[in-house]
Chains A and B, each alone.
Chain A
Amino acid sequence: MGIYRIGIDVGGTHTDAVLLDQNNQVLSETKSSTTEDVATGIYNAMHKIIADAKVPREEVKYAMLGTTHCTNAIVERKRLNKIAVVRIGAPATLAVKPLIGVPNDLREELGKHVYIVRGGHEFDGREIVSLDEKHLYEIADKIKGKVDSIAITSVFSPVSQAHEGRAGEIFKEILGEDLAISLSSEIGSVGLLERENATILNASVVNVAKTAADGFINALKNEGIEAKVFFGQNDGTLMSVEYAVKYPIFTVACGPTNSLRGASYLSNLSDAIVVDVGGTTSDIGVLVQSFPRESSLAVEIGGARTNFRMPDLISIGLGGGTIVRIQDDGTFTIGPDSVGYRLPEKSLIFGGDTLTTTDVAVALNKVNLGEASKVRHLNKELLEKVYQRMVELVEEAVDKMKTSSDPVPVILVGGGSILLPEKLNGASEVIRPEHSGVANAIGSAISQVSGQVEKIYALDEVGREKAMEAAKEQAKAEAINAGADPESLVIVDIEDVPLAYLPGNATRIRVKAAGELVQEEKDALTI
């Protein structure tokens, strides 16, 4: 009896799916269109790979979903929860109230019930003032029946979670266990406004995540599959449905992450630069020990500045459908607009009227696609210049992502990667793995389970070694909690940053542990 897993990645244009066996060999793959309701697209893709692979349905044990549901909801400001925003920190922080600096439409949507309560901590863990519990009870009464999700952010909660935790308890006590509660210390790091924004966004997409999860589970059931379901998160690891519904914000940007992880798996490389060429853009990211390098800068989601972990990516306006415009004097522009998913009708080689990057590559015999006769009349010398510029755009982006000028391996994935040559400046080698068109879905299917901890430690008090040990243990416990096999746990990332100007040798330590998914069924069989 086999154990099979399904990996699905829902992107803006395509929904990709793969079915893998227990050795992670690809048995079937598909690329279908993303549908307006998302669920239909998932169902279609899943139906096809199961039919193609012809494996017994009861042997499909795991299903992993990477999806843009939550990102879309935030960007479109649709289907968001009715939330309350509670900040604990008064009398501090009143000069910058929640959601200042967030675009007006989002502020209107999410800023209907905003409260600032007395409490919060100093950088060294002292209380600014004691927590105003009476005010919290009053707020709970006021918002009863009006909201279904609460975002709670306390000043310096990455140092002390006490006030956030207590506030959460009070709301549960008055409003019941069903209410969704998002605590900022579990979502972002130091930087009040950015962490608060991330927490608010998290609270606002709880229902969206629930609907996505239910839809996925139902689609599986309709196919006769009883699989354990996981969601992909943006650090390239999995979370259980329960976890995903609590921390849906971590699904944002999991698509590019899945591509990176898939590229690592397919090429068997742990450290490399990955170029994912889509129809409209190319995303360039960096693999460090098989995981995406994280961005150190504030990241905007739907116009709101946040600081939770995100893969460090740059996006350039170059894809398979990017429009090339040539002027009479021989000058030209490449993009940034694209025919996107309409490539099969718009581009010259498919009988359309728009010159695209794909047409350029076909005309120069770099790619064998469509009807080459339709681009034979074009000026090759000029197209050669266009092509060179396309390659340069990628080379510049690769260079920007490097940490030194040493050449590094470059892995090409995504449907549009056929455009790119066998050699790139700055690359020690260019790798184009098999199944690279669905690297993202593969990345989704092979994900590991992780746990992370990020805290400020006063090293003068606890000592560096003890602090590190404590952080590692906590990260491992988090990973096991999320479903990782304790035997396979590895610490994949350690970062410690001394905080300037602070006494006591205050240091922010971040540790991430990751391991294989516990394969309960497998264990059960061997007994």
Chain B
Amino acid sequence: MRKIGKQEIEDMAIGAALLGTGGGGDPYIGKLMALQAIEEYGEVTLLDADEVPDDALVVPSSMMGAPTVMLEKAPSGEEAILAFKQLEEYLGKKIYGTFPIEAGGVNSMIPFALAARLGLPVIDVDGMGRAFPELQMVTFYLDGVSATPAIIADEKGNTALLTTIDNVWTERIARAATIQMGGSVMNAMYSMQGKNLKESGITNILKLEEDIGRSIRLAKENNVNPIEKVLETTGGFELFKGKVSDINRKTETGFARGIATFEGLNDYKGESLELRFQNEHLIAQTEHRLLCVTPDLIAVLDAETGLPITTEGIRYGARCVVIGIPCHPKWRTKKGIQTVGPKYFGYDVDYIPVEDLAIKGVII
């Protein structure tokens, strides 16, 4: 158990952007929500998963909808509270604590704003260890935890309770309601017991996030290479260093898809790297070698500052280091690869762990 204040939030926001692997929404507005809530209500208690009783009711808090809308119509703060109250009423049980559904991007910060206001602890667990675009792409789903009963709530005070037959229906109904409610809502779904959380969640992910952010910040202050520090912290691999030579984007069915090409610099001179993304970075490969594949994490860092760059922020000429980080072992199971592996996203590539690719390289 420890306290999370403003500096911890600032560091976590940087780590959240990195674990967002190019997508997940800009953590900026979530960070401001957390900072304001801590300013007004005090610091937040962070618990390790093993400090949570097995029978405690725990619920993640997250936003759903268009990030563009959230950046204009910021939340009131009440909608997340309302969603929790309604769920408590429906389940007839008090919620013990909250946690982020995904550690990457804006949703990593949302639980802190809520926890500060309600005086609840945040638990150092998430369901992805990174960011993914769809509702069922959580480790809880792999172990059969249901997304519903779920509550979605808007700032006007409207709520909807969803009890669905499967997560596809949850997604479908929730999306339609979200648009009517104004394009961005807060939700309380994937409620579970402490026991489920410990079994199915990815633990110590917020600590990792904070460590990443802190090492980038301190590297700058101490004038050391931030990227080396990030690799040490995450157990990741440098895949490539280069400058962006081409960026090809198109928006399809609500996803920002595209390919960024990097021309090699220094040790990588003469090679070029292709990075394929659909909101998040999914595949990194050179002309001859496969370097990293989803669900392993691919992050693009500014070569100088080490700060993560989102897919929207990739611009011609930017000097970058592309790194690969092993995903959580839960994703490397058969069901895990089926849910978030390269074939699910439409790439005809087999999943091979990044540590094997980084050491030997696989010729394609």
Contacts and interface: CB of A to CB of B under 8 A. Distances in A.
B73 A90 contact: no
A404 B244 CA distance: 10
A128 B245 CA distance: 44
Contacts of A503: 179
B66 A97 contact: no
B178 to A, nearest CB: 9
Given A400-B317, A501-B183, A95 B77 contact: yes
A502 B67 CA distance: 10
Interface stretch (A50-58, A190-198, A206-214, A226-234): A190-198
Contacts of B74: 89, 92-93, 95-96, 192-193
B166 to A, nearest CB: 23
Contact of A502 (B36, B68, B71, B246): B68
Nearest to A399: B317
B66 A191 contact: no
Contact of A128 (B35, B36, B155, B313): B155
A91 B183 contact: no
A101 interface: yes
A123 B183 contact: yes
B317 A501 contact: no
A95 B71 contact: no
Contacts of A470: none
B72 A94 contact: no
Contacts of B251: 498, 500
A308 to B, nearest CB: 15
Nearest to B251: A500
A373 interface: no
Contact of A93 (B65, B68, B76, B317): B76
Nearest to A298: B28
B78 A94 contact: yes
B327 interface: no
Contact of A404 (B37, B243, B316, B318): B316
B33 interface: yes
Contacts of A399: 243, 317
Consensus secondary structure, chain A interface: loop
A405 B183 contact: no
A92 B313 contact: no
B29 interface: yes
Interface residues of A, number: 37
Contacts of A100: 32, 35-36
A403 B76 contact: no
B183 A122 contact: yes
A370 B184 CA distance: 65
A123 B77 contact: no
B113 A502 contact: no
A95 B73 contact: no
Nearest to A87: B74
A122 B73 contact: yes
B75 interface: yes
Interface in B32-86: 32-33, 35-37, 65-69, 71-78
B156 interface: yes
B254 interface: yes
B69 A123 contact: yes
A500 B72 contact: no
B128 to A, nearest CB: 20
A403 B244 CA distance: 10
B303 to A, nearest CB: 11
Q: Which of B37, B78, B183 has the most CB of A within 10 A?
A: B183
Contacts of A129: 156
Contact of B245 (A91, A405, A500): A405
Q: Which secondary structure dominates chain B's binding surface? A: mixed
A156 interface: yes
A24 to B, nearest CB: 33
Interface string A88-128: 01111111110011000000000000000000101100101
A499 interface: yes
B256 interface: yes
A155 B36 contact: no
A401 B243 CA distance: 12
Nearest to B178: A501
A48 interface: no
A100 B77 CA distance: 15
Contacts of A192: 71-74
Given A91-B155, A404-B316, A498-B251, A190 B68 contact: yes
Contacts of A156: 72-73
A248 to B, nearest CB: 25
Given A96-B36, A100-B32, A122-B182, A499 B77 contact: no
A402 interface: yes
B92 interface: no
B157 interface: yes
Contacts of A122: 73, 182-183
Interface in A374-409: 399-405
B245 A90 contact: no
Contacts of A92: 73-76, 155, 182
Of listed B36, B37, B157, residue having the most chain A CB within 10 A: B36
Contacts of B66: 123, 499-502
A156 B35 CA distance: 24
Nearest to B117: A95
A16 B318 CA distance: 34
Contact of A123 (B28, B32, B73, B316): B73
Nearest to B71: A191
A297 interface: yes
B56 to A, nearest CB: 26
Interface string B301-345: 000000000000100111100000000000000000000000000
Contacts of B254: 500-501
Interface string B214-227: 00000000000000
Nearest to B247: A403
Contacts of B246: 404
Most buried by A among B67, B74, B113, B313: B74
25 contacts: A91-B156, A93-B74, A93-B75, A94-B78, A95-B75, A95-B76, A95-B113, A100-B32, A100-B35, A101-B35, A120-B73, A122-B183, A123-B69, A123-B72, A123-B182, A123-B183, A128-B182, A155-B72, A156-B72, A192-B72, A192-B73, A193-B32, A499-B66, A501-B254, A502-B183
Q: Which 6 A-B pairs have the closest CB atoms?
A: A501-B66, A95-B77, A400-B317, A92-B155, A93-B74, A96-B74
Given A128-B182, A193-B29, A405-B245, 20 more contacts: A91-B155, A91-B157, A92-B74, A93-B74, A93-B155, A94-B76, A94-B78, A96-B33, A96-B75, A101-B28, A101-B35, A123-B183, A156-B72, A400-B317, A404-B246, A499-B66, A500-B66, A500-B254, A502-B66, A502-B68
